[in-house]
Amino acid sequence: MVQVQYWRSKLGKDYFIMKYALTVLLAILPALNLGCSKSSKNAEDARFSDKRVVLQESDNKLTLGDVAKHFSAVKFESAQQEFDLKKDFVEETLERFLLIKGAQEAGIQPKLDTAVVQRNLIQSYLDNTIVNKIKTTDSDVDDFFAKYGGEIELGIILVYDSTQADSLFRALKKGDDFEQLARQFSRERYSAEKGGNLGYRSYDKTGPDVRDIAFNLIIGEFSRPIHTKSDWEIIKVYDHIKNTKADLEKSREFYRGLTKQYQRKKAVREFANKIRSQVHYTINQPVINLLIQKADSIRNSGNYKPGLPNSAYLDPRSLSESDLNMYMAKFEGGGAKVGDYISYIRENYEPERAPDITNGVAMEEIMEGLTLPAAIIRKAINEGFDRSEVYLSGLDYLKGSYLYQKMKDKIYSTIDTLTEADIAKYYNEHQNDFFLPDQVRASAIAVKTKDEATALLNRIKGGAVIGQLAKSNSLDKQSALNNGDLGFFTVARYTAIFQACENLQKGQLGGPIEYENNWWIFMVTDKIKKTPKTLDQVRADIIDSLGRKWRADAYKNWTNKRKEQTHYTVDLDLIKNNLTMGQLTQTGKETK
């Protein structure tokens, strides 16, 4: 039976992100189902356990319950959409069965990397012992919204070391201007030129290391320096909107999902802390000292960029196999090797932000991050979870995924090599698709009423400078920080303003017009006309487009031929008669 519920394709990003010791652990957690109310739980369980067969190909089956599990986190807009998506999923599953069988016939053997197997074991163990047992009530949602609901307008000053962060914090306490300090010192390039302003952010769109603190600040308050994985941040809240009871009721199901994510994060954090307290490891100081020497030697060779933290110079190509297999830390049942440490550093840090090997606190945090997954694996094995049906069926699915991908690669290997003639032919046939669109650059002011906009427009006509008025009057915070400059934009952005600017010349004023709940006035500062792109400008895009088309054609030809040679049964009536969105007239039952 296909284990679609647990091993389905990811529908979203990982829900759990925790710093330091939990980084490795939580980076492998899957996208999980959004919360459901208690009243729907029994009906959901019944759908998931439905054994009626939708697809049968030899010994391979896809049940109605499998389909329900796969789409458990999807909110459909109509019965037709639900049917179409589920029909496509059945078709994709059939093709998966066929490609796996093709790989087996071609003699391809599944080869799973040890790290993949270990991540799969941790993922399955956490889901089945912790995550899937969490219940979310309406009261939980209310409590979460009270703390983390709505959107905050957030400012940030980001620096790379604690000394500078502390210095900036002291300056802020003395009354220095947050925006000026952000412009001068923040390493967050996008926001620095805007005085650190990141705009409005909901809880789920705010960085995981700072969001709990950010949503507990009052308007106008700034935080102490916050130590994230690779930097130090001071944040400030300017505004808090969409956080009323009415806002909650409009988006209760969305916040139910966020609440469940928060509960899962908390549960995993508590579980990880419990495991961590039981792990007793010792750092091998002679190996640490040896790494410091090797890092210094590599840095002094002159082949690498100077001025980086010492661990950034640890290149596995410059170390022997025995060096990479030395244990930096040991604990019961395992340890963290030099190679593990280097991989961890390269996956989680930019070279400029890599930790200093001589920093004992940083090293302990990293060692915890490396040892925690191993401790969870050991716990899962001791409890016999590695022999459980849910884990083994998931492992089989991973093996099938390996075969599926290898067979796709084999199909793609039959495609002819792309030539310059193919590229030129495609360019000549699609020249109307390759162009740079019309662009406008304008300075603008957004205010609440038409009368305000008209008054400001008259002041500009009388000689006032639009940039100065924008800075002091515009409600569009980001452009106000740049004297009203919206930059170059196409019709896809600031649509109404772009359309109004089309008939204006450079230097002319426009407005007032109503756009996105504000009234805008603007001045055209520059224009760029639509221009065709050259072949060299679009060569990479053409290669990508042709490559995708040729691969899709080869895949379709192979699967269509295979379907003609294979006996299988698909019952779409089962899908149609069990839609969550209501009735659908379309039917479909076929046997081939």
Contact call for residues 390 and 124 (beta carbons, < 8 A): yes
| Among the listed residues 115, 132, 133, the one whose alpha carbon sits nearest the alpha carbon of residue 398 | 115
pLDDT of residue 322: 94
Q: Residue 188 class from Cβ within 10 Å (0-12 exposed, 13-18 middle, 19+ buried)?
A: middle
Contact call for residues 193 and 183 (beta carbons, < 8 A): yes
Least confident of 124-133, 239-248, 365-374: 365-374
Range 435-532: architecture per CATH: Roll (3.10)
Domain residue spans of the chain: 4-136+570-591, 151-241, 287-385, 435-532
Between 427 and 45, the more confident residue is 427
CA 449 and chain centroid, separation: 38
The CA distance from 528 to 88, in Å, is 43
Domains 151-241 and 435-532 share a fold: yes
Give 357-368 pLDDT, tens digit per residue: 888 877 877 887
Question: Mean pLDDT score of the chain, rounded to an integer?
Answer: 87
Could you tell me the pLDDT band of residue 114, with boundaries at 50, 70 and 90? confident
Give 574-591 pLDDT, tens digit per residue: 999 999 998 886 555 445
CA 320 and chain centroid, separation: 36
Residue 428: count other Cβ atoms within 10 Å of its Cβ. 9
Contact call for residues 408 and 493 (beta carbons, < 8 A): no
Give 460-507 pLDDT, tens digit per residue: 999 999 999 999 999 988 898 899 999 999 999 899 999 999 999 999
- Calculate the alpha carbon distances from 577 to 54, 133, 588 in Å: 12, 30, 11
CATH annotation of 151-241? 3.10.50.40
